[in-house]
Structure 1
Amino acid sequence: MMATEVNRDFIMLSFAATECRRALDNLAEVEALAAVRIVREQGGEVRENLRAFDRIRLGLQMAANVSRIFWPPRNGERGAHLREITGLDEGHGLSDRRLRNHIEHIDERLDAWTETSPRPFLTIELVVHSDMPPPGDRRDEVKEMTAIVYDADDQTVHLFGDVFSLAELRTYLEDAGEKISEGISKVVATWG
């Protein structure tokens, strides 16, 4: 095989490894961005929301890309083959399609969320902290009125009623990344 020729397994695993690393890098930035707090001289404060959600959405999209490589909606044979090379279990945490489906079908989720319209509108995306108003019970009300919430205190993303732990997602991505790397080494070892 020429040095510039690689097989399908190597290409798919390389893509998955890159997306895995990019997802982890983006998710690592979320906590730091959510901690940004600028107190204004005239009172009040500004918290980072937009850039935190940029990183959350990028991280979730890239995690969904990794999931699609190993647990595709079609071409299950390819997914099974790549899982065999890497040693990823059928029931691995990245195989859960709920998160992936929210990301891929966000327009449909927004359709369903706005079906009970008019609805109290706060915002579509919101970072919430324990020290910000509204306190106590009202926080749950704010979460229900918002389509996508990042709870900075417990590092969870609430998407249209489903709750996903970013800490768990990072663990799944780290595990997958290690196994993908081992799989790439196996593929390269066959090149003789």
Structure 2
Amino acid sequence: MKLFEDTVYIGEIVLQVKIGQKAYERLKFYEDTIDLWTSIQSILIASANISKILWPNKEYNDRGVRLRKMLNISDDNILRDRTFRNHFEHYDERIAKWFEEGANGVFIDLAMNPDLSFSSQNTKRGYNTIDETVVFCGQKFDLSKLNIAMLEILEKCKPYTIV
């Protein structure tokens, strides 16, 4: 039985959810571009930290399985996918690839309310305040759905810790 170990991990999940929640709340009251992108990046990092606890690398897979079972979290949970966090964490690699593939000279970054079709590959990073989605190179990710998923996990953690 790994109850003590599991409660330590659950405590960290709770902390990361609270960090993500604070950042999500700040999205509605940002003062400038840096403030907005600090919040977005904080949300993505907090959610990725939760993801790494629940879906760790192979060496710690048993822990992830045990915690997901304990908290009744399915494998199709939105938190499992760390693609958007990786876009931000490995931004340098994404830009290098863009240049290697023949950059077209149009570079749009940190766009606010970019084209609602999100079809532009030229918008590297963007945020849509209307539907709370973050955009990276034409891909779209819903931060409100991510926030809901984190809050659902927080509820599932309550029996195991003081939340």
Which of 97, 100, 107 is the equivalent residue of 1:121?
107
* Structure 1 unpaired stretches of 5+: 1-5, 37-47, 130-137, 186-192
Cα shift at 1:152 = 1.1
Identity of aligned residues (%): 24
Which of 13, 19, 42 is the equivalent residue of 2:10?
13
Cα shift at 1:66 = 0.8
Amino acid at match of 1:125: L
Residue deviations 1:26-72 (CA, integer Å, cap 9, x gap)? 01111222xx6xxxxxxxxxxx3221011111111111111111012
* Structure 2 unpaired stretches of 5+: none
- Call closer, same or farther: CA 1:165–1:15 in 2, change over 3 Å: same
RMSD across aligned positions (CA): 2.5
Q: Which residue of the partner structure matches residue 25 of structure 2?
A: 28
Q: Which residue of the partner structure matches residue 62 of structure 2?
A: 77
Aligned-partner SS, 2:106: coil
Cα shift at 1:139 = 6.7
2:149 counterpart of 1:172: yes
Cα shift at 1:98 = 2.2
2:130 counterpart of 1:153: yes
Give the conservation status (yes or no) of the 8 Å contact 2:7–2:161: yes
Matched positions, count: 158
Cα shift at 1:7 = 2.4
Amino acid at match of 1:12: Y
Amino acid at match of 2:107: F
Give the conservation status (yes or no) of the 8 Å contact 1:22–1:62: yes
